[in-house]
Structure 1
Amino acid sequence: MRTESPSLTAWLLLFLLGLIWGGSFLGVAQALTGFGPAWVAAIRIALAAVILLGVAFATGQGLPARASDRGRRIWLHCAGMAIFSNALPFTLLSWGQRHVTSGYAGITMAVVPLLVLPLAHVFVPGERMTPRKVAGFTIGFVGVALLIGPATILSGKAGTDGLARLACIAASCSYAVGAIITRLAPAGPKLSFAAAGLLIAAVVIVPVALLSEGIPSSPPPAAVLGVLYLGILPTALATVMLVHVIQTAGPSFLSLVNYQVPVWAVIIGWVVLGESLPTQFLAALGLILAGLATSQIRLPRARA
C-alpha cells in the first residue's frame, strides 16, 4: 500500500499530462485541415505504436508472451484496449471535431471517470456504487444532458451538430469501457501492455482509413504537424509518463488529471483558435466536475 506523498516529479508529470492531453484537441483540429477523421486516428496510432514498441524493446520489456493461457488473456485485453481506448474513440472524436469546437470535445472527456463508476460496479469486484458515488454520478449526468442539449434530447432528433456532440459522448463511453478492460487485465509490465494495444489498434484502423478515405493527398503543413503532435506527445510520450506516474504515485493520484484536461482544452481552444463556448457548455463542465469531485471524496472514518 502506498503511503508516501507524491513527489515533485509526479506532480510535474501530472501537470504536463493534463496540458498535453488538453492540447490534443487543438492537434486534432489542425490535423483535420488535411486528413479525414479515420486517417487522423490511424496516423497518430501507428506513429505512437512505432515509438512505444521501440521503447518497450529498448527497455527489455518487449511484447507480452503469448504461449501461456495468461499470456493469451493479456493479449485479449490488449485487443479490447486497442479498440475501446484507441481506434474507436480517436475516430469518433476526430469526426465530432469536424462540427464542434475543440473545447467542447475536451469537456466531454471529463465524463469518462463518471461513466467508469457504474461499469466498475458491475464488472470490478469491490467497486460498489456507494451513495456518495451515486450522488456524484447523478450530478455529472445532469451535466452530460446539458452538454448534449435539452432540445436534442427532448425532440429525439439530432442534426449534424447534435450527432457530433453524441459522437464525442460516445467516445467518452468507449474510453470508460477501455478503462475497465485495462483494469481487469492480468498484471504485467504496463509499457509492454500499452505497446501491444497500440500495435493491434494500428493493424485495425489503418485498413479502415484506407478503405473509407483513400490515400491522403498533399496535406498542408499544419495538418502534418497536427498528426505528428498527436502521435508523439498525447499518444506515445504521455503513455510513458502515465506509466511512471502510476508506478510511483498510484492510479488514484493519476485520476486527478481528469480535472485538468477539459479546462486546458477550453483555454487552448479559446486562446489559440479563438473559440467561444456557450454558457450552457461551461455550466455543463461545472456540473460534470462537481459530480466527479463528489464521487471521489474520501470521508474520514470514525475512530474507535
Structure 2
Amino acid sequence: MQTQPDITPANWAMVAILGLVWGATFLFIELALEGITPFWLAAARIGFAAVLTTAVWLWRGGRVFLTEVSAWRMLALAGVINSAIPFMLLSWGQQTVTSGFAGVSMAAVALIVLPLAHLFVPGERLTLRRLLGFGIGFAGVTVLLGGQVFESTGDPLEPFGRLACLGAATCYAVSSIMVRRLPPVDPFGLAALALVFGSLLVIPAAVVVEGAPVMPDGRTLWVVAILGLIPTAGANLLRIFVIRSAGPVFMSLVNYQVPMWSVMLGILILGEPFKPILLLAMALILSGLFISQWGALKRLFGRDATPSS
C-alpha cells in the first residue's frame, strides 16, 4: 500500500513560517494599493519574484531534470494556475466582496484539496479524521472572521466577485496537486519557471485591463519589492518544498493560519481591538490541525515509529 508522506519538523516549521508571512502580506498589499492598481500590483509581484528566483536558479546551475514534453506542459500550466490567475481573480474579486468572504474563500483551499488529493495523489487518502479536522478548522476561520463572512457589500457584481474568490481558491488547490505530481525536478528551477510562466500571462493581462503602468512613488516601490521578495519569491519556494516533501494536504494547513495571523498582526501592529472570540477561533483552528494531522504528530514525537499505510 502507498504510505503517507514523511512529515518532518522542517515541514512543520515551513508551514508555520508561510502562515505568518502570508498573514502579514495583507498589510503590505493594503499599503501598495495606495500607489498602484490591482493588476499591476499582481504583475509587479510576480515579475519581480520571477527575476529573483531565476537569478538564484541560474546561479545554482540552472538544472530542471524534466525531459518529457508532457511534464513541461504541466509545469507551465501549474505556474499559470499557481500565481497569475488567482492573483488576478483575487485582485478583481476583492473590489466587490467583503474581506471576510475573501478570507473564508482562501480557507476553503484546504477543503478543496482533500478530495483532489484522494483521487490524484498516492498516499493522500481522504479519511474521516482528516475530514473532521479540516471541517473544524474551517469552522474556526468562519468564527474568526465573524459577520463579515455573511455580509453583503451591495455591489451588483458581488456574486461574480465571490465566484472569482472561490475560483482563486480552486486554482491554489489544483496547482498544489499538479506540483506534487510532477516527476523529480530541481525545486529552485520549479519555483523560478512557475513564476516565469505566470508572469507571461499576468503582465500582458495588466496592460489590457489597466493600460500602461504609471511609475509609483518611492514608498510604493519599496512595498512592492518586499511583496515580490518575501511572500512571492521566498514563500513560493518554501511552498514547493512543502508540497514536494509533505504533500498538498499538509500544505493546505497554511490556509487556516493565514486569517488567524492576519487578525493577530492587525491587533499587534495596527492597534485593532482585541475580541475574545479570537480565542475560540484559535482553539477551533488548532484543534482541527491536531485532529487532521494526528498520525503525523505521533510519528514526529516518536510515539508511532512505523509510518501508517
Q: TM-score w.r.t. structure 2 length? A: 0.74
User: Is 2:186 the counterpart of 1:185?
Assistant: no
Q: Over residues 56-85 of structure 1, what are the superposed CA-to-partner deviations in whole Å (9 max), with x where a residue is unaligned?
A: 1101134555xx4x2x23222222221221
After TM superposition, list the pairs within 5 Å mapping 1:138-287 onto structure 2. Answer: 138-139=135-136, 149-150=149-150, 159=156, 164=161, 166-242=163-239, 250=246, 257-273=254-270
Kept in 2: contact 1:32–1:94 (CA 8 A): no
- Report SS of the residue matched to 2:259: helix
Kept in 1: contact 2:40–2:203 (CA 8 A): yes
Segments of structure 1 that go 5 or more residues without pairing to the other structure are none
**Residue number among 132, 137, 143 corresponding to 1:135 in the alignment:** 132
Per-residue deviation, 1:50: 0.5
Per-residue deviation, 1:55: 0.5
* Letter aligned with residue 26 of structure 1: L
Per-residue deviation, 1:106: 5.0
Kept in 1: contact 2:191–2:240 (CA 8 A): no
| 1:240 to 1:133, Cα distance in 2 relative to 1, 3 A | closer
Q: For 1:106 and 1:222, how far apart are their aligned partners in 2?
A: 27
Per-residue deviation, 1:296: 2.6
Per-residue deviation, 1:263: 2.0
Alignment-derived partner of residue 6 in structure 1: 9
Alignment-derived partner of residue 46 in structure 1: 47
Kept in 1: contact 2:23–2:261 (CA 8 A): yes
Per-residue deviation, 1:29: 1.3
Q: For 2:221 and 2:27, how far apart are their aligned partners in 1?
A: 13
| 1:133 to 1:6, Cα distance in 2 relative to 1, 3 A | closer
Kept in 2: contact 1:110–1:288 (CA 8 A): no
Aligned residue pairs: how many? 291
Alignment-derived partner of residue 301 in structure 2: none
**Residue number among 59, 78, 81 corresponding to 1:81 in the alignment:** 78
* Letter aligned with residue 170 of structure 2: C
Q: For 2:180 and 2:51, how far apart are their aligned partners in 1?
A: 24
Larger mean CA deviation between 23-32 and 267-276 belongs to 267-276
Q: For 2:150 and 2:100, how far apart are their aligned partners in 1?
A: 19
Per-residue deviation, 1:242: 4.7
Q: Identical aligned pairs, as a percentage? A: 41
Kept in 2: contact 1:103–1:262 (CA 8 A): no
Segments of structure 2 that go 5 or more residues without pairing to the other structure are 299-303
Q: What do you get for the CA RMSD once the two structures are aligned?
A: 4.0
- Report SS of the residue matched to 1:197: helix
Per-residue deviation, 1:12: 6.0
Q: Over residues 11-34 of structure 1, what are the superposed CA-to-partner deviations in whole Å (9 max), with x where a residue is unaligned?
A: 765544332222111222122112
Q: For 1:101 and 1:56, how far apart are their aligned partners in 2?
A: 39
| 1:150 to 1:119, Cα distance in 2 relative to 1, 3 A | same
Kept in 1: contact 2:46–2:232 (CA 8 A): yes
* Letter aligned with residue 226 of structure 1: V
Kept in 1: contact 2:20–2:257 (CA 8 A): yes
Q: For 2:275 and 2:98, how far apart are their aligned partners in 1?
A: 11
Q: For 1:161 and 1:287, how far apart are their aligned partners in 2?
A: 29
* Letter aligned with residue 33 of structure 1: E
| 1:64 to 1:103, Cα distance in 2 relative to 1, 3 A | farther
| 1:56 to 1:127, Cα distance in 2 relative to 1, 3 A | same
Q: TM-score w.r.t. structure 1 length? A: 0.76
User: Is 2:23 the counterpart of 1:22?
Assistant: yes
Kept in 1: contact 2:112–2:170 (CA 8 A): yes
